């Protein structure tokens, strides 16, 4: 993974000339005078963690698994939000942990947590490092140091129960590797977020992730039947049956807990048979509201495709849903719907036929398989474009929310208006990609010319938009989580009593408050 950008450096893309002129002419983007610094030029702060504590950690995990060299520390600084990348590109590694610790078992994680609690060392659980909400940048103020607890060595397919269709998997497995291991056995999880190549199973659970095929397979939380969690107070083993009425479901306390309550060391996940067939196609609707009405009907009355997404007029026009053709003008664009069907041939044919009848009845025009295939081919490509846009002097960032169908149109307009008012004349694009009987997500992509301080510029806009989201009845996050960036808005969303409950749980599981301090838990 590129340390200050996205993905395999070999996958870097050049911006097409059409996009360059769009940036110049429409947004007034001017080339940056300072290109990204090299990794060797970055100087992380002095290590403050006492050598004796480092020795204790080495005694637990082995000397080779405690790293305090510059590169390891820099690679565990921050996540992959645009402000994270802008800071890293400028050589700012001020939030680098003192050391990176890589335990090899649940027991070692427990012992690392004990050492860190004993010395009041902050511990940031680290999966793929793809957080976009400031989930990984702990401020060590008030602590004896900060360590990143990287679960990368817990990366095995531990067991497979094909009778119950449950797999036990290590939290350090990246999405793509987990799919490869399951795929060899004719199975799939069905979890395909855009960060799939790099994000880990533990991160998916800890941040309550949702993948692009959530209409068919559900969000990641729906796949978790059980888990093991190491906390400073000991082990939590959760989930022993497909359903239980034995009190509140404590798995829900850990799902979305973002490393603040414990470290997920093992996950038991529902698996399914790999689909024999995948059929993706495109539909055109005249407007976003007509397209949204069609998605709502499918979500409420069925049949529901496996993938269902609707781009608004601007996103369709720019071609963001088909990154290979981005910037190419689209004639009579309207709004693009991508519908994907996965399963056995009969199931795919039957669901497709029934869904097509609904989409046609509600004003859609079928565009055939080409737009659907183009989306499927380019589904992991957009993050690579972000690096090229940043290098060009544009800020590109995403934000997302969800709301009931009844509030969605107002929420959509209010977020667009807030972004436009805060950023001058940005390009604002939106799509719906997760639908429910009662509502849907809204995912915005914003492109704007960078001001002198692009981080401050974005943070200003984000603050305004977060207030608008909460005021208009949306949630501050459908699937990115809370981290540090959404903590204030989350506090408003759950209220004072909600915050007290979270603080109570944290005090019980992590009495010294060493786990990911500053993330998730409202401070009031
Ligand atoms: C380009 C891009 C595209 C993205 N697309 C999507 C998308 O389509 N859908 C989506 O849901 N998200 C998406 N994300 C956000 C991100 O990938 C998810 O939040 C993902 O779940 C994070 O996984 P990770 O392994 O990278 O976790 P990290 O970033 O390493 O950690 C995320 C949080 O979880 C905690 N954590 C990590 N591992 C553990 C563990 N084992 N136990 C306890 N806590 C842990 C961390 O402390 C942190 O608070 C995207 C991000 C990027 C950069």
Q: Report helix, strand or coil for 105.
A: coil
Q: Report helix, strand or coil for 445.
A: strand
Measured in angstroms, how far is the CA atom of residue 481 from the centroid of ligand 1? Answer: 8
CA 509/CA 256 separation, integer angstroms: 15
Report pLDDT digits (tens) over 455-501. Answer: 999 999 999 999 999 999 999 999 999 999 999 999 999 999 999 99
Which run of H or E residues covers position 501? helix 487-509
Residues forming a β-bridge with 446: 397, 428
Residue 124 Cβ < 6 Å to ligand 1: yes
Q: Nearest-CA neighbor of 451 among 29, 10, 26?
A: 29
Measured in angstroms, how far is the CA atom of residue 309 from the centroid of ligand 1? Answer: 22
Residue 443: predicted pLDDT: 98
| pLDDT at residue 233 tops 90 | yes
pTM of the prediction? 0.97
Give the number of the atom of ligand 1 that is nearest the alpha carbon of residue 481.
19
Measured in angstroms, how far is the CA atom of residue 210 from the centroid of ligand 1? Answer: 10
As a whole number, mean pLDDT of residues 343-365 equals: 98
Which run of H or E residues covers position 90? none
Q: Please say whether the beta carbons of 382 and 321 come within 8 A.
A: no
Lookup result for tokens 């940005």:
426
Which run of H or E residues covers position 127? none
Residue 79 Cβ < 6 Å to ligand 1: yes
Report pLDDT digits (tens) over 19-77. Answer: 888 899 989 998 765 789 999 999 999 999 999 999 999 999 999 999 999 999 999 99
Lookup result for tokens 């496996």:
306
Q: What is the mean pLDDT of the chain?
A: 95
Measured in angstroms, how far is the CA atom of residue 447 from the centroid of ligand 1? Answer: 23
CA-nearest residue for atom 5, ligand 1, is 194
CA-nearest residue for atom 28, ligand 1, is 129
Q: Please say whether the beta carbons of 255 and 159 come within 8 A.
A: no
Is the link from the previous residue into 303 a cis peptide, with omega within 30 of 0? Answer: yes
Residue 125 Cβ < 6 Å to ligand 1: yes
Q: Please say whether the beta carbons of 387 and 444 come within 8 A.
A: no
Residue 194 Cβ < 6 Å to ligand 1: yes
| pLDDT at residue 88 tops 60 | yes
Residue 129 Cβ < 6 Å to ligand 1: yes
As a whole number, mean pLDDT of residues 495-515 equals: 98
Residues forming a β-bridge with 397: 446
Residue 132 Cβ < 6 Å to ligand 1: yes
79, 131, 196: residue to mutate for ligand 1 pocket, most atoms within 8 A of CB: 131
Measured in angstroms, how far is the CA atom of residue 520 from the centroid of ligand 1? Answer: 14
Lowest mean pLDDT among 325-334, 360-369, 415-424: 325-334
Residue 17: predicted pLDDT: 86
As a whole number, mean pLDDT of residues 347-356 equals: 98
Lookup result for tokens 């495709």:
305
Q: Please say whether the beta carbons of 388 and 15 come within 8 A.
A: yes
> For a pLDDT cut of 70, what percent of the chain falls above it?
97
| pLDDT at residue 359 tops 90 | yes
Burial class (CB in 10 A: 0-12, 13-18, 19+), 463: middle
Measured in angstroms, how far is the CA atom of residue 258 from the centroid of ligand 1? Answer: 9
Residue 502 Cβ < 6 Å to ligand 1: no
Residue 16: predicted pLDDT: 85
Give the number of the atom of ligand 1 that is nearest the alpha carbon of residue 262.
43
CA 59/CA 483 separation, integer angstroms: 31
Going by pLDDT thresholds of 50, 70 and 90, the confidence category of residue 12 is confident
Measured in angstroms, how far is the CA atom of residue 236 from the centroid of ligand 1? Answer: 22
Report pLDDT digits (tens) over 434-462. Answer: 999 999 999 999 999 999 999 999 999 99
Q: Measure Cα distances from 381 to 310, 341, 463 in Å.
A: 18, 21, 28
Residue 127 Cβ < 6 Å to ligand 1: yes
Q: Please say whether the beta carbons of 326 and 19 come within 8 A.
A: yes
Residue 69: predicted pLDDT: 98
> For a pLDDT cut of 90, what percent of the chain falls above it?
91
Going by pLDDT thresholds of 50, 70 and 90, the confidence category of residue 323 is low
CA 232/CA 247 separation, integer angstroms: 24
Report pLDDT digits (tens) over 419-436. Answer: 999 999 999 999 999 999
Measured in angstroms, how far is the CA atom of residue 201 from the centroid of ligand 1? Answer: 9
Which run of H or E residues covers position 228? strand 224-231
Which run of H or E residues covers position 125? strand 122-126
Q: Is pLDDT larger for residue 15 or for residue 405?
A: 405
Q: Is pLDDT larger for residue 319 or for residue 312?
A: 312
Measured in angstroms, how far is the CA atom of residue 128 from the centroid of ligand 1? Answer: 7
| N residues, the chain | 524
């Amino acid at each position: 993974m590129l340390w200050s950008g996205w993905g395999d450096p070999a996958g870097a893309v050049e911006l097409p000339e059409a996009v360059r002129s769009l940036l110049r002419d429409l947004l007034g983007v001017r080339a940056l005078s300072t290109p990204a610094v090299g990794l060797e030029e970055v100087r992380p702060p002095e290590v403050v963690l006492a050598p004796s504590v480092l020795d204790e950690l080495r005694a637990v995990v082995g000397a080779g698994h405690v790293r305090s060299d510059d590169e390891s520390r820099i690679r565990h600084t921050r996540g992959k939000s645009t402000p994270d990348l802008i800071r890293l590109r400028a050589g700012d590694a001020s939030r680098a942990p003192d050391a990176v610790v890589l335990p090899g078992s649940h027991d070692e994680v427990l012992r690392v947590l004990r050492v860190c609690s004993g010395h009041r060392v902050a511990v940031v659980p680290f999966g793929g490092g793809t957080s976009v909400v400031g989930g990984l940048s702990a401020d060590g103020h008030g602590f004896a140091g900060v360590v990143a607890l990287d679960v990368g060595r817990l990366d095995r397919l531990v067991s497979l129960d094909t009778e119950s269709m449950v797999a036990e998997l290590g939290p350090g497995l990246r999405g793509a590797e987990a799919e490869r291991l399951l795929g060899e056995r004719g199975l799939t999880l069905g979890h395909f977020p855009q960060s799939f190549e790099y994000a880990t199973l533990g991160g998916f659970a800890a941040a309550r992730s949702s993948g692009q095929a959530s209409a068919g397979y559900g969000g990641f939380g729906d796949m978790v039947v059980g888990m093991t969690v190491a906390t400073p107070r000991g082990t939590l083993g959760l989930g022993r049956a497909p359903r239980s009425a034995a009190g509140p479901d404590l798995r829900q306390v850990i799902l979305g807990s973002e490393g603040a309550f414990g470290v997920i060391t093992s996950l038991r996940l529902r698996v399914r048979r790999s689909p024999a067939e995948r059929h993706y196609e495109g539909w055109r609707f005249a407007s976003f509201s007509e397209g949204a009405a069609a998605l709502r009907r499918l979500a409420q009355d069925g049949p529901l495709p496996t993938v269902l997404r609707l781009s608004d007029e601007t996103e369709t026009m720019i071609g963001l849903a088909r990154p290979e053709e981005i910037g190419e003008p689209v004639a009579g664009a309207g709004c693009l719907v991508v519908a994907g069907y996965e399963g056995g041939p009969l199931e795919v044919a039957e669901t497709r036929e029934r869904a097509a009848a609904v989409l046609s009845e509600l004003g859609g025009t079928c565009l055939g398989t080409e737009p659907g295939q183009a989306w499927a081919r380019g589904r992991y490509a957009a993050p690579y474009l972000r690096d090229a846009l940043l290098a060009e002097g544009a800020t590109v960032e995403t934000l997302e929310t969800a709301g009931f169908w009844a509030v969605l149109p107002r929420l959509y307009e209010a977020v667009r208006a807030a972004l436009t008012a805060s950023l001058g004349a940005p390009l604002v694009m939106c799509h719906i990609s997760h639908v429910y009987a009662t509502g849907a997500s809204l995912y915005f992509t914003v492109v704007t010319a960078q001001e002198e301080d692009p981080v401050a510029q974005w943070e200003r806009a984000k603050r305004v938009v977060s207030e608008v989201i909460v005021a208009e009845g949306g949630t501050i996050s459908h699937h990115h989580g809370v981290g540090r960036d959404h903590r204030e808005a989350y506090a408003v969303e759950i209220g004072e009593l909600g915050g007290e409950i979270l603080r109570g749980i944290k005090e019980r599981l992590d009495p010294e408050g060493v786990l990911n301090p500053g993330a998730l838990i409202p401070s009031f």
